[in-house]
Amino acid sequence: MKVTLPRTLAAAATATLLAIAPTQAAGASTGLPESTGNPPVTASPEMTEAMQRDLDLTAAQVQDRVAHDEAGSDLADRFEDILGDEFAGAWLDADQHLVVAVTDAKETNRIRALGATPRVVERSADDLAALMAALDRTARPSPSQVTGWYVDVETNEVVIEALPDARGAAQRFVRSAGADADTIRIEITTDKPQLFYDVRGGDAYYPGSSRCSIGFSVNGGFVTAGHCGGVGTTTRGYNQVTQGVVRGSRFPGNDYAWVEVNSNWTPTPLVNRYSGSQTVTVAGSAEAAVGASVCRSGSTTGWRCGTIQAKNQTVNYPQGSVSGLTRTTACAEGGDSGGSWLAGQQAQGVTSGGSGNCTVGGTTYFQPIWPILSAYGRTLVTSGGGGTPPPTGCSSYPNVYSGSLSGTGSYQFQPNGSYFYSSRSGTHQGCLSGPSTADFDLYLQRWNGSSWVTVASSTGSTSSETISYNGSTGYYRYVVYSYSGSGSYTLGIRVP
């Protein structure tokens, strides 16, 4: 269910201290408090692993560095109190040794006595802060010319970052602030900072002029409902920031889509529970049975739960019928379309549509997640663990068959012109991949004792079709049919 703006809520459906000079006279006042005897500072296993990877350190070097960083940072804070107005900043050098900038050369001996390296400079920290404040009070230059400004304590300057060919704009910015140009360094950069946002299931996003909900993060973006927008539709996030483009969309027949996000957005394994800052971490995609509890997240009605009533339902919407949906007792409303469905931490699917609302209750249908991932070769972003990822691409199915159709109206039975027997009840999955210049359809048929009956179909406008059908034991066959065009195809089959 999608809602058109303006919003309408229709009822639809983390220590070893730095070296202290041992020659300090007993009883001399350092201005520092006595040791507190706190335990050594250590890095967590996760932080250790990341620092080993990103800083090229051994595990022992990580722990040593973290301890030095902590002690140096603490000592830097204390020097700010000790030196007062003469303090001009402090930093750790490449060896994690503390360097302290000071405007009064008389303070250098005290700085050395306390285990740091002094550096005499012209401007105090307060002077530099005043320069920053002057820039901050001035009308902002265009971000297409000047991308930022900061205090560089090591050079005792304020730095303005400007894009190529924008030095003049940076100089005008300095003059407008009334700042002394000798105190500011202009650096040319090609970096263009942008904000970063998380992709999170259940959050709102805006395809065109409508509002829908994110389903689940996948590699490169997220999956959602197909009826929310066709291929090429541009999307904005919950905050109205440009987000991505719909790269694949199917509706009717199926109701799924995937959106490729830009570099400002990071897919995460999280789903919004709409309860404070609470989220659910997606662990996998194990399929829940009929009768199991299931919960959904959507941008209109938040977190709602119910039970699974049936699978593989065909719903005949006014806009077109959709097959292979799962029927539930959870409620939903307009704008919840595309949102996440979870059984525990296992992804189940994305909201399609329904009837009723969250005041009187109702029935809601979701498009199962597995056909979506298969159709577009996407993988869920998860915390790890939980169900087995579905296949990505028809050739990865356990049973793969090939064929060729001669032209419009031609068809073939599979496997190999025949049929197969399923000795167990469960989910049948079929994946068809044909030529881009043709429109092939896929049907699953079951023998009812006297004739073949189509129990599931996928009839989109391309030759990439998927079927997911929950069936009982019996004889089955697939039919690959050319609605238009000819060429070779691959059919992947998964049986219960």
Rounded Cα gap, residues 301 and 281, in angstroms: 20
Cβ proximity of 200 and 214 under 8 Å? yes
Show the tokens assigned to 227: 């009826």
Crossing angle of helices 167-177 and 125-137, in 10° steps, is 100
Cβ proximity of 367 and 350 under 8 Å? yes
Burial class, 187, CB count within 10 angstroms (exposed 0-12 / middle 13-18 / buried 19+): middle
Cβ proximity of 370 and 390 under 8 Å? yes
Show the tokens assigned to 319: 């806009």
Using only the alpha carbons of the chain, give its radius of gyration.
Answer: 31
Which of these, 318, 315, 377, 307, lies nearest to 352 by C-alpha position? 315
307 & 242 share domain: yes
DSSP state of 24: P
Number of neighbours of residue 193 by Cβ within 10 angstroms = 10
CATH code of the domain containing 104: 3.30.300.50
Rounded Cα gap, residues 314 and 254, in angstroms: 10
CATH code of the domain containing 422: 2.60.120.380
181 & 163 share domain: yes
Cβ proximity of 383 and 282 under 8 Å? yes
- What integer pLDDT is reported at residue 265 of this predicted model? 95
| Coil, helix or strand at residue 112 | helix
Q: Is residue 38 part of a domain?
A: no
Catalytic residue of the set 124, 249, 255, 457: 255
- What integer pLDDT is reported at residue 384 of this predicted model? 64
Rounded Cα gap, residues 2 and 142, in angstroms: 37
Show the tokens assigned to 66: 């973290």
313 & 364 share domain: yes
| Coil, helix or strand at residue 91 | strand
Domain ranges, residue 137: 125-188
- What integer pLDDT is reported at residue 396 of this predicted model? 64
107 & 181 share domain: no
- What integer pLDDT is reported at residue 157 of this predicted model? 92
Local mean pLDDT, 10-residue blocks, the chain (496 residues): 36 27 35 42 67 82 82 84 92 89 93 91 93 89 89 92 93 91 90 81 95 96 96 95 95 94 94 86 86 92 92 88 90 95 91 92 92 88 59 66 88 91 87 88 93 90 87 92 89 88
Rounded Cα gap, residues 149 and 171, in angstroms: 12
Catalytic residue of the set 68, 227, 285, 323: 227
Is 68 part of the annotated catalytic residue set? Answer: no
Is 165 part of the annotated catalytic residue set? Answer: no
243 & 354 share domain: yes
Show the tokens assigned to 22: 């041992």
407 & 486 share domain: yes
310 & 235 share domain: yes
Among 134, 156, 188, the domain-final residue is 188
| Coil, helix or strand at residue 267 | strand
Q: Is residue 400 part of a domain?
A: yes
Burial class, 167, CB count within 10 angstroms (exposed 0-12 / middle 13-18 / buried 19+): middle
Among 161, 188, 215, the domain-final residue is 188
Q: Is residue 3 part of a domain?
A: no
Q: Is residue 12 part of a domain?
A: no
Among 120, 150, 171, the domain-final residue is 120
Is 95 part of the annotated catalytic residue set? Answer: no
241 & 306 share domain: yes
Burial class, 245, CB count within 10 angstroms (exposed 0-12 / middle 13-18 / buried 19+): middle
The set of residues, in sequence order, having a beta carbon less than 8 Å from that of 370 and lying 6+ positions away, is 285, 287, 390, 429, 468
Cross-strand partners of 488? 404
CATH code of the domain containing 214: 2.40.10.10
Instruction: State the pairing for strand pair 98-102/117-120.
Output: parallel
Query: What burial letters (b/e) apply to 51-65, b meaning 16+ CB within 10 Å?
Result: beeeeeeeeeebbeb
Q: Is residue 22 part of a domain?
A: no
- What integer pLDDT is reported at residue 9 of this predicted model? 25
- What integer pLDDT is reported at residue 169 of this predicted model? 93
How far does Cα 267 stand from its chain's mean position?
1
DSSP state of 86: G
Q: Is residue 386 part of a domain?
A: no
406 & 262 share domain: no
Q: Is residue 398 part of a domain?
A: yes
Cross-strand partners of 322? 253, 315
Please give the backbone phi and psi of residue 457, each rounded to the nearest 5 degrees, phi first.
-150, 160
Alpha helices in 19-58 (DSSP H): 45-55
Catalytic residue of the set 213, 249, 299, 337: 337
Cβ proximity of 491 and 400 under 8 Å? yes
Alpha helices in 138-215 (DSSP H): 167-177
- What integer pLDDT is reported at residue 206 of this predicted model? 97
Beta strands in 163-261 (DSSP E): 184-188, 197-201, 204-207, 210-213, 216-218, 221-224, 234-237, 242-250, 256-261
The set of residues, in sequence order, having a beta carbon less than 8 Å from that of 136 and lying 6+ positions away, is none
Rounded Cα gap, residues 64 and 197, in angstroms: 33
245 & 350 share domain: yes
* Structural domain total, the chain: 4
Q: Is residue 7 part of a domain?
A: no
Show the tokens assigned to 484: 């238009």
Cross-strand partners of 198? 266
417 & 344 share domain: no
| Coil, helix or strand at residue 399 | strand
276 & 323 share domain: yes
